[in-house]
Structure formats: C-alpha cells, structure tokens
Structure 1
C-alpha cells in the first residue's frame, strides 16, 4: 500500500546486476513487506540481536537449491551447512593459517552465489550484524558475480553498521542505490485501514502512518477491543526502553508524561537530571529513534501509541513525581522575562553573577535576583540544573 514508487525503484536496480541496494526505515515501516513484492529470486537471511557468527548468511544459504558440479572450494561450507553435506564437495584439506582458512570460507560463499545466479542475497536488520558477516559482506561487494545482487535493510536509529563507509568502498562497476522508507500519509493510512476493517475510524493520529501500528491497531478493533496500545507494539517499545541508559530512559519517561513536544530544558527539569546527563540522555533517545524533533528545539515520542506504552510502564510513584515536576511551573508567578532569559542563558554557560553583571551592565545583586526568580519559575533548585551549564 503506497509503495509503488519504491517497488519500481528497487526492481529497476535489481534488474541490472551486479548491484547493491540499501533500504532503511524505522521499525514497522514496511521494509520486509516491500521485499515480499519483489519478483527477483531472493535468498533471505536476518541478523539477530545475539549476533551469531555468519548467522544471516547461513540462514539465507539454507534456502538455496544447490546445483550439481559445485566448485570444490564450496566444501569449506560443510561446517556451516551440515544439512547440505550430501550435496557439497568434500572438505578441502585443513590449513594452519586462520586467515587463509577464513579467506577460503569467503571464497566458498562467493563461489556458491556464483553458481546460484541470477540471485539477490538479502540481509535484513543489518543494524544487528555480527562482525564475521560484516567482513564477509565487505568481501562480497568487491567481487559480486555478474548476475548477483546484494540487498540490505536496517533501522537507521539502531545502526552501528557504517553504511556510508560501506557504500563508499563499492567498486565503480557495481551499481548501488539508497532508499529510505517513510510512514504512510493520511490518505494511504485510510486506504490500508479500509482494507483491514469494514468501517474503520481515522487511525492516522494514533499511528502516524506506521504500517505495523496500523495493522496491530486494526486487529484489536476487529476483535472488539477498544483503541489502545497493541501488545506487540507495546512490547517492542518496552524492549527499546529497557535497553536505554538510565538518563535516556528518564528523558523518554519525562516526554511521555509531558505528552507534547517539549524543549530540552523542560524535559531535563521534569526528569530531574543535571544538564550534562540530560544532554547525553536526550541525544541517545533521539539516536535510538524513541524521541524525534518535530520542530526546532522541541522533542517528543514519535507515536501516540508509543507514548502510551511508555507512560503505562512508569511505576505509580515515579509517575506522581514526574507529574509534580510538570505542574510545578504552573504554581509560580509567571513566565521568565526577557531579561531573566538573558541572565539564565549566560548562567547556563557557566558565567558567575559578577561576569554576567559586567556583560549586561547590571549590578551583581540584580543578577542574583534575576537568577533566583528564573530558577523558581522554571521549577529548578540550582543553576547547575540549567541545560548546557558548563560549571
């Protein structure tokens, strides 16, 4: 649904091997679904968080229909593919040098792909790739057979795989393309919902067009359950939350309680974090795709359903404390004045009251009053809590 342009683009590249295709997108956006629509012959393997050595390559090759008359070097694959031992040549004689043994294994994979062409080797979830498979992919891309392609999918927010470096080292004769899958728009979301439900409500505000969220929410509604966070989506969000460092987790929890995009300063205040920790926590939450920046300087959770999943996971005691911090500024005497904003901006840079006074041509006593008033209005107890403070 809504992927005709992307499908045509990928198909056109794969039709002219050798080629490398990189497809990125957030979890649930439809990377795997797009692959199912391709007409090219595929061998598909997936990386896993446990990062098994050569895991995705072994998984892909297990689905191969091995032809007769394979190159003797492919016998080196017997330890990785024991189920094919009756189809593979005998193991080559052992060698003492581990690097020679490794090179022979890489050549065996290359030779098998050569025998299977035309073929596209697909490695999904490359953000979880193991070091051995990573080196093997780098080897394969430099010598892809004329009738073979390589297609990789990954989540950019989780990627430790250096995609830019991988792409920059491709030989000139190997074509490549990068495709980023975005969520569905309002009309596409409505069309998908109509295929899933006889009389669907507007699912876009809750899902923001992520197909996985649309399908899971539609399933809940079809079963007669009210709108809420689908269990599969909730579990996926909570797994990501549990993997966060403490500061990042507290920032995400603060964003869930605030319930609308907020500034870094506001999230730090609600989370109760000093500036240095809140800055690192926010950066990590954004990098891992839990928070995004819908407008300059404002951060929030990507989806309302994700926000609800995070909110429900917060223990009652912590939730009450976060709500008190959210409500604290409303109990003060008003917004920070322009002069107070100037003063605390300099204070956040680590300037003393005297240095601020000299910079703004004020008395140190006046600066002291402005700092105290601004901290009170922001619900902070110390200037060290100001985001960006370098003291």
Structure 2
C-alpha cells in the first residue's frame, strides 16, 4: 500500500530511534496503519508479533529468531537455548541449573538483555501488544527499565482491545531512557483522496464510507478495481464480525441497535431498540465504546464509527432478530424528521427515480440496506410512499 499522510509521524519516530535507548509506544485503531508506518523505518530492527493465543515469550522468540548472532556471547545467553533451539550451536552452554524458579526466570531475562546488547544498535519491535502474554509482559517490564545503550523498544497496540495498561511502561523508566507515545488517527478527506488515486484510476470519494481508515480504503479500492458488486469488502466485514462475536450479549445487542438506527442515537433509544434492561444496556454501551465499535458522535449520542462497519453489522443480524429490532424502531425515541446523512443521500436519489439497485451501486451499499434506508426515511418524514419524496427533498 502506498505511504500517505504519515510523513510527520515518520520523522518524529525516526528522530526518537536515532538516539537510543528509547521506549516508543504507537497506538491506533485496527487498520489505521501502524505496521505500514514501521515498514518505512530505516533502522536495524528485530520484530515479533503478539498473538491472540498468547504463547509464552512468543513475540520475543519470533523477534530473536531473525537475529544474526555475534561470535562471542555472554555465558548467561546460554539460558536461551530452550527458547531458541535453532541457535543451540551458536549459543553458549546452558548455565548450571538452580532450584529457585525466580532465579531461573531472572537468568532468562538477563540472557535476553545481554543478547540485545550484543546486537546493538537495534530496535526491538513488538506488534499487537494488546495480545501480550503474561511472561512477555513481565519481561517487557524488566527490559524497559534497563535497556542497554544502543537498544530501543518499540511497541504497537490497539487501545480499544487492550486490558494491559501499555502506557504504564513509561511511568517507571529511569531518566536516561527516553520515551514517547505516537497516536495514529485516520487519514483526513484530502489524504484519503490521495491514497485512493494511488489505488484507482478514477476513484470515487471513499472518505464518507471509510472515514479515512487506510485498511478500509485499500480493501474497498481493491473490490472496486476488481469490478465486484457493491457492499462491504470481505476483509473489513470479517474484522468487524470478529469483534462483534467477542462482545457480551448486551453489548452486541446495543451495536446491532445502532446499526438498525443508522444514525447517532441516545442511550435510551439504543436500549429501547436493543430490548435489554437499562442497567445491562448501560454496561453494554460502555463495553462497545471501549472496544471501539461504537463512539460518541455528539454529546450523549452514539453510533458506529464507519458506514462500512455499520453495513457489516446490519448484514450479520439474523432475520428474526432484525425483525424484532425494526419493530422496536416503529415507535422511535428520536425526534421525527431526524434523517441521517446516509438516509438523506438515499432519498435524494430515490426522489430522482432511481431503483434500490441503482442507488446501491451509486453509494456502494447493498440493495437490502438501501431498502431499509428508504423505509426509515419515509417513516421519519411522515410519508407513506417514495412518490412523495420529490416534494420533501426540494
């Protein structure tokens, strides 16, 4: 994917890593471009990824397996033989065993520290730290306090998915270790248009659908380039559905209610449509916001962040649940006439005589989604037929 809109962050990051030791945290929502930013770095690095299964020391092993070991190593690095059997012929012999498990653990931590020092200058990159395993978490706490000269520690994570206070690493660093946090926001409309021009010959405006998330822009552009029908790109849909499946039931119902309403709504409205008790709805809303699926679009009003995410959630709702949700919308808690921006786009095209399929192709939606938008708009405007739309939109 082309590199667009991150020049300032890249300059800042490069300057930080040029003066080790430093601890740098990079945060941002899924698909915002954290890994893409790291690919532009021109510094020696060893990279490992945390995984949802949380293997003990998994990202450290993955990173060190890519190292080229020097000839002379501190004898303590022999403690790494069980973790790095592929380097057994290069590592010193295992240190004599000790009976105390904590001493053994400290020896292993010192071995990682010593090996990193022998590889300096180097940056240890651990991605997706929101999935960090307990052993690596303890090792990071140790490393961050005693990084050798010439060694940086760089961590990426999604704030909405982490239960581990990653930023707390910075609070206990000694004065000589520099530290910083870089937060990546989505691209703005101009940057989105520039990225789309790199990906498509004659791109439409992708910002309203993607809200500047590079992963969504790239996947939508790929779908359009391949001439596939309108709808949510499969990769975007699957990422959203994985998050939905991980939610508690009440939070899932609140997200589904937001998808049906299709516009930022009050907590009361979401609870009504979701059909959950108020106290469960309150907890569910808080969890959905924490996980990054819902956000506060205006004071006291919540909705899905992206139109593509909204469509993915809506299409995933089973027909029975969908019917129940729509029945609860029949007596809306929101003011009559509060047509959402997306509904306004749809009804303007409907007023011009376009069919649902034609509107879907124009706005990159599914025909079923267009049908729902038209029905919601008619209800909110107090109309009974789409033939009345020209008078209501002129």
TM-score by length of structure 1 reads 0.84
- Choose the corresponding residue for 2:90, options 71, 87, 91: 87
Distance of 1:223 and 1:332 partners within structure 2: 42
Q: Is the 8 A contact 1:51 1:129 kept in 2?
A: yes
CA 1:145 to 1:333, structure 2 compared with 1: closer, same or farther past 3 Å? closer
1:35 aligned counterpart, secondary structure: helix
1:182 is the counterpart of 2:196: no
- 1:151 is matched with 154
1:225 is the counterpart of 2:222: no
Displacement, 1:307? 0.5
Distance of 1:331 and 1:165 partners within structure 2: 41
Displacement, 1:332? 11
Displacement, 1:167? 1.3
Distance of 2:336 and 2:261 partners within structure 1: 20
Q: Is the 8 A contact 2:54 2:131 kept in 1?
A: yes
Displacement, 1:174? 0.5
1:165 is the counterpart of 2:163: no
1:247 aligned counterpart, secondary structure: helix
1:20 aligned counterpart, secondary structure: strand
Distance of 1:274 and 1:258 partners within structure 2: 18
Distance of 2:231 and 2:286 partners within structure 1: 29
Aligned residue runs from structure 1 range 61-72, under 5 A = 61-72=64-75
Distance of 1:54 and 1:207 partners within structure 2: 36
1:9 aligned counterpart, secondary structure: helix
Aligned residue runs from structure 1 range 73-152, under 5 A = 73-152=76-155
The one-character-per-residue Cα deviations of 1:294-324 (angstroms, maximum 9, x if unpaired) are: 1110100110101111001100011011011
1:29 is the counterpart of 2:32: yes
Distance of 1:55 and 1:31 partners within structure 2: 20
- 1:288 is matched with 291
TM-score by length of structure 2 reads 0.83
Distance of 1:310 and 1:330 partners within structure 2: 22
Displacement, 1:226? 2.9
- 1:355 is matched with none
Q: Which aligned segments of 4 or more residues in structure 1 are displaced greater than 3 angstroms?
A: 329-335
Displacement, 1:228? 1.6
Aligned residue runs from structure 1 range 13-24, under 5 A = 13-24=16-27
- 2:388 is matched with none
Distance of 2:336 and 2:28 partners within structure 1: 45
Structure 1: tracts of 5 or more residues without a match: 336-391
Displacement, 1:162? 1.1
1:308 is the counterpart of 2:311: yes
1:48 is the counterpart of 2:47: no
Q: Is the 8 A contact 2:81 2:94 kept in 1?
A: yes
Distance of 2:263 and 2:99 partners within structure 1: 62
Q: Is the 8 A contact 2:25 2:167 kept in 1?
A: no
CA 1:106 to 1:268, structure 2 compared with 1: closer, same or farther past 3 Å? same
Displacement, 1:164? 3.3
CA 1:266 to 1:155, structure 2 compared with 1: closer, same or farther past 3 Å? same
- 2:258 is matched with 255
Structure 2: tracts of 5 or more residues without a match: 339-394
The one-character-per-residue Cα deviations of 1:184-241 (angstroms, maximum 9, x if unpaired) are: 0000000000000111111001100000000000000010013321111111111110
1:16 aligned counterpart, secondary structure: coil
Displacement, 1:136? 0.3
Distance of 1:165 and 1:223 partners within structure 2: 45
Aligned residue runs from structure 1 range 199-210, under 5 A = 199-210=202-213
Distance of 1:74 and 1:57 partners within structure 2: 14
Please, what is the CA RMSD of the aligned residues? 1.6
The one-character-per-residue Cα deviations of 1:336-376 (angstroms, maximum 9, x if unpaired) are: xxxxxxxxxxxxxxxxxxxxxxxxxxxxxxxxxxxxxxxxx
Distance of 1:231 and 1:163 partners within structure 2: 31
The one-character-per-residue Cα deviations of 1:89-140 (angstroms, maximum 9, x if unpaired) are: 1111111100000000000000000000000000100100001000000100
1:298 is the counterpart of 2:301: yes
- 1:57 is matched with 60
Displacement, 1:77? 0.4
- 2:248 is matched with 245
Displacement, 1:163? 2.4
Larger radius of gyration: 1
Displacement, 1:274? 1.1
